[in-house]
Each structure stands twice: as C-alpha cells, then as structure tokens.
Amino acid sequence: MGVLSKSLAEYFVEVQHRLPDEADRVLRALGEHGRMNKEELSLSARVKRAVLDHVVMQLYALGFVDVATEGKSKICSLTRLGLEFAGLEERPGH
C-alpha cells in the first residue's frame, strides 16, 4: 500500500513507531508549554541537548515542529500538523 493511498491517521501511526521515544517527550513539552528555545525545551522534555537537536530536525522534516531564529536563539513550536499528530497519540488505541 503506497503512502498516497493511506489515511493521515494510518500515516501518523506508522510515523509514531519510527520516531525515537524522545520525540514524544519533545512534542508533549511543546504542547504543554508552547514556544520555547532549545535550552528550555531540553529541560522541559528531559532530553539531552545533543539528542534534542537530532529529534527536532526529524520533527521539523515531518512538518510537526517549526524552528524560528530570534537573535542567537532557535525557538521551537508545534505546527498545526504537529498539534494534530500529538492529539492522535493521546487517543486510546494509538
């Protein structure tokens, strides 16, 4: 079955299984606390900074997280697709 013939929900389930555990913590932290810089996100999500950069780039590539530059800081926030994905994870059976 090709990606184009799958529903978004089915795609999200497959993505969830491929992402590292830290990705879930990052998405939850952004969902609970909103926009934050990588240092705050690292502390809130309990993810080491070196791992955080890798996870954020995966989530960015999937369109779940937006990364904006403000001065010297990188500010991370959930996109609408990221909010939808994070909401799907909280449903029973997913």
pLDDT at 46 over 50: yes
Asked whether residue 62 is domain-assigned, the answer is yes
- Assign residue 49 the CATH number of its domain: 1.10.10.10
**pTM, to two decimals:** 0.80
Amino acid at the residue 55:
V
pLDDT at 47 over 90: yes
Q: How confident is the model over 1-19, as a mean pLDDT?
A: 75
Please state the domain count of the chain. 1
pLDDT at 93 over 50: no
Q: How many residues does the chain have?
A: 94
Question: Which pLDDT belongs to residue 5?
Answer: 66
- Domain extent, residue 20, equals 3-89
Dig out the tokens for 15 from the structure: 């993505």
Q: How many CB atoms lie within 10 A of CB 23?
A: 24
